[in-house]
Amino acid sequence: MLFVFDFDSTLAELRGIPWDTGVKEEVFQYGKAQGMELDNSMHIVPLSNLVGNTPERKAHIDQIFRKYEKECIQKKNFVVYPSTVPTLAALRKMGHEVAISSNNNTISIKEVVEAGHIPVDAIRGRDSVLHPKPSPDMLISLMKEFKMPKNKTFMTGDGFWDKEAGVAAGVKTFIIKPGKLDITLFGAFL
């Protein structure tokens, strides 16, 4: 089976990133500079997906996200939740594939994965697909890589975008509170 996890607020927490006052504002201003009519009350996820509607714009949005993530990681302002490593290690020991699907940048995820010794087989960040979550593109890419059918793939995250991506991909989806990952969540499927 393939177990796919969201990253920030599911496996780890990137602390102190000003998502609304820094990242979102830069995305908004970039979109305005591109001549787009935007509503600043939009949540950062649909706003960044709307502004990043071409490969060039998407690359610029990814750089904005990376700038803030990089600063957070360089300051070691992140935590890997206590249950993350034991849960993922247990799944892998049982012979399952474990992957990350996140709207964070791939390099940022890799840096925390390495620092926290998080056992994963693959990572898909926002910069690895044209359409980040809630699009199912990352999940579909992972299912293709591991040749895993929908009925043997599971998505676990902490919010709406994770749920929407899982539903759109047609996979069983679990929504948990930050830091509450537990292998018993998958008991009926193991």
> By CB neighbour count within 10 A (0-12 exposed, 13-18 middle, 19+ buried), where does 21 fall?
exposed
- Per-domain residue ranges of the chain: 2-13+79-189, 19-74
pLDDT at position 41: 93
Cis peptide, bond prior to residue 86, ω within 30 of zero: no
Superfamily of segment(s) 2-13+79-189: HAD superfamily/HAD-like (3.40.50.1000)
Return d(Cα 52, Cα 130) in angstroms, integer.
8
Per-residue pLDDT of the chain (190 residues; tens, 9 = 90+): 999 999 999 999 999 999 999 999 999 999 999 999 999 999 999 999 999 999 999 999 999 999 999 999 999 999 999 999 999 999 999 999 999 999 999 999 999 999 999 999 999 999 999 999 999 999 999 999 999 999 999 999 999 999 999 999 999 999 999 989 999 989 888 8
The encoded tokens of residue 43 equal 């949540």
- DSSP SS3 for 97: strand
Cβ pair 64, 33 in contact under 8 A: no
Predicted local confidence at residue 190, as pLDDT: 82
What's the CA gap between 189 and 15, in Å, rounded?
33
DSSP per-residue codes, 5-30: E--BTTTEEE-S--IIIIIHHHHHHH
**Residue 134: cis peptide before it, omega within 30 degrees of 0:** yes
Residue for token digits 């950062």? 44
Give this prediction's pTM: 0.95
